[in-house]
Amino acid sequence: MQDTVVRTAVVGAGKMGAIHAKVYDQLPQSKFVAVVDIDANKAERLAQQYNCSAFTDCADILDKVDAVTIATPTVTHLKLAKIFIKNKIAVLIEKPLAANVREGRKIVSLAKKNNCVVAVGHSERCNPVVQAIKRLDIIPKYIEANRISPYPFRSTDVGVVLDVMIHDIDIILSLASSKIKKVDAVGVNVIEDKEDICNARIVFENGCIANITASRLAMKTDRRLRVFSRQAYLSVDYFRKSGIIIKADPNINVVKWIQEHKNSGDFNLTTVNWPDLLHIEQLDIDDKEPIRLEQEVFLKAVADRTHAPEVSAEEGLAALKCAQLILASIRKNKWNETIEYNT
């Protein structure tokens, strides 16, 4: 079954749809057969690039495909996913899973009822940096994530939480592996009606704490994650696909060395370069394209049901639930429109 060629299609001929189309066309386990978009011209232009068919109605491809990627505005995800899931056609839905938790639950319920593979396009989970962290199998106690960038001029149907922060929410939930105990957040809308900047603090039942910052109004792009645990300290850069790990055990001798010299009083510790004493390793990171890995795992799950997609519908729903808690906290902690200054 794993060698089965899966007939694939993309719904949505925008930027993300075009990226998925390119990868589907390159994968040997995929036979890319169609592009669907309500704009016939956009569908035709993308379809011509890959010598496949163009359609404006999802119903027209139900007998032609085994799996589809839905890369359309978030508000359409449930409506489109329902068409394919009811016909037992596997779907990969671009993040977030749905416009709200209620619609996300419906997608999960439909997937279970129809025994259908549903994956969510949290492609950052397939980032080589995140895959490297996953292999370390550490238990985090504190996680700090920053994801900031200039205004993207897209995804204006959702705020920065569902557009950008959702990536780190998904990764943090997978690392913490615990239920959420408390969420506190603050957000500001500057250009759009929805929040453009947000900071959230998530406390988990197992004691892990996460602090996340997201902005789409920054001067430059910066995507970083820091993880503190008893086993190690991790610092990674998603954008540059690089990272370091400082493991605790190899540094025990350093602690003893410092204590001995501190007690002896015959050595000036201020002259010591701290990083020179630490056991610092570069993370072993491959250079695989995240969306390619995401689609490979998705198609493997379609061809062989003993496998699971990288991010399941249930995990996509969990990220959406957390995002909704953050948005609720933003509303609760909404800043006053008018600030009075005492003189």
DSSP 3-state assignment of 205? coil
Q: If 0-12 CB within 10 Å is exposed, 13-18 middle and 19+ buried, where does residue 113 land?
A: exposed
Question: Band of the pLDDT at 343, cuts 50, 70, 90?
Answer: very low
Minimum mean pLDDT among 3-12, 216-225, 284-293: which range? 284-293
Which of 12 and 194 is assigned the larger pLDDT?
12
Q: What is the DSSP letter of 7?
A: E
Q: What is the DSSP letter of 118?
A: E
For the chain, give the mean pLDDT.
89
Question: Band of the pLDDT at 203, cuts 50, 70, 90?
Answer: very high
Phi, psi of 72 (to 5 degrees): -125, 170
Residue 338: predicted pLDDT: 47
Residue 12 pLDDT > 80, yes or no? yes
Query: What average pLDDT does range 43-56 have in this prediction?
Result: 98
Residue 174: predicted pLDDT: 93
Residue 3: predicted pLDDT: 62
Domain boundaries, the chain: 6-125+290-312, 128-289+324-332
For 129-169, what is each residue's pLDDT tens digit?
Answer: 888 788 787 889 999 999 999 987 765 678 999 989 999 99
Query: What average pLDDT does range 232-243 have in this prediction?
Result: 87
- C-alpha Rg value of the chain to the nearest Å: 23
Query: What average pLDDT does range 284-310 have in this prediction?
Result: 92
**Which of 204, 217, 246 minimizes the C-alpha distance to 229?**
246
**CATH architecture of residue range(s) 6-125+290-312:** 3-Layer(aba) Sandwich (3.40)
Best CATH choice for the domain 128-289+324-332 from the list 3.40.50.170, 3.30.360.10, 3.40.50.12780, 3.40.1710.10: 3.30.360.10
Residue 272 pLDDT > 80, yes or no? no
Residue 315 pLDDT > 60, yes or no? yes
Amino acid identity, residue 339?
I
Query: What average pLDDT does range 262-291 have in this prediction?
Result: 74
Phi, psi of 23 (to 5 degrees): -70, -45
Here the tokens at position 17 are 């749809």
Residue 4: predicted pLDDT: 84
Residue 155: predicted pLDDT: 59
Residue 255: predicted pLDDT: 67
Question: Band of the pLDDT at 20, cuts 50, 70, 90?
Answer: very high
